[in-house]
Structure 1
Amino acid sequence: MNIETYRSYCLSKKGVTESIPFPKLPDVLVFKVKGKMFTATDINTFDSFSIKCEPETIEELRAQYDALEEPSYFSKKHWSRVLVDGSISDKILCEWLDVSYHLVVAKLTKKARLELESL
């Protein structure tokens, strides 16, 4: 996966916006749904990206995939850093982005979820 594929895939989801919200981290591109982050990456290197994961399966996935690591800046219980090293297929990477997106959507208010469904 390259950064353009990653970006296009994220933006293809309902209600997603992109921004560079951290003044002290001007290279970090963040994708949000209804204002809640579901993935982020460094736009200059694109050597990894962060995703939200299910706490019940996160350790199992990290044991199964060497390219799935504990994140540097996020909760290790809910987030993982995915190395973009070619060891994981684009199909699986997209599935993980889907999981991250849906986990965030599930935590939105009922009103926000209804607004999202109407898009």
Structure 2
Amino acid sequence: MDANEILDYCLSKKGVTETFPFDNETLVMKVATKMFLLMSLEKQPLTIAVKTDPEWSAELREQHPQITGAFHMNKTHWNSVAIDGLKKQLILKLIDHSYDLVFKSLTKKSKEEIENS
């Protein structure tokens, strides 16, 4: 997968916006006001950071050397994922999982606004 495919996939989800709150190269995808994916547009190999359930994080890190604790993030909940060598299906599953975790943490009002848009 490349950066454009990841961007398009994220934007296809309800309530998602793209922002650059930190600098001009770190793309942040949010659902409502909360981050669910970060992607450096300059770093090679392409790497994303996604939120992951802590138990699954440990399992992923054991199985895939491309998945580590995310830099500058809470490493219990955030993983850095180097895309090279990972199956597209796993990358999409990680994005979906991150989106779902963050969506579940939104207020009832925010959830309803997104679901009704």
Same fold flag (TM > 0.5): yes
Q: Normalising by structure 1, report the TM-score.
A: 0.93
Aligned match of 2:10? 10
Which residue does 1:29 correspond to in 2?
Answer: 27
Residue in 1 that maps onto 2:56:
57
Task: Give the stretch that moved more between structures: 40-49 or 28-37.
Answer: 40-49
Amino acid in structure 2 at the alignment position of 1:75: N
How many positions carry a matched residue from both structures? 116
Shift of 1:91: 1.2
Task: After TM superposition, give the deviation of residue 43 of structure 1 in Å.
Answer: 1.2
Q: Which of structure 1's runs of 4+ aligned residues deviate more than 3 A?
A: none
CA displacement, residues 21-49 of structure 1 (integer Å, 9 cap, x when unaligned): 11xx3210000000100001111236200
Of 92, 110, 116 in structure 1, the residue corresponding to residue 114 of structure 2 is: 116
Where does structure 1 lack aligned partners over 5 or more consecutive residues?
none
Once the two structures are superposed, the pairs formed by residues 93-112 of structure 1 within 5 Å of their partners are: 93-112=91-110
Q: CA shift at 1:111, angstroms?
A: 0.8
Q: Which amino acid aligns with 1:63?
A: E
CA RMSD of aligned residues (A): 1.0
- Pairing partner for 1:91 from 89, 92, 113: 89
Distance 1:82 1:65 in 2: 9
Displacement of 1:61 after TM fit? 1.1
Counterpart of 1:44?
42
Separation (CA, whole Å) in 2 of partners of 1:36 and 1:103: 11
Amino acid at match of 1:6: I
| Percent of pairs with identical residues | 37
TM-score by length of 2: 0.95
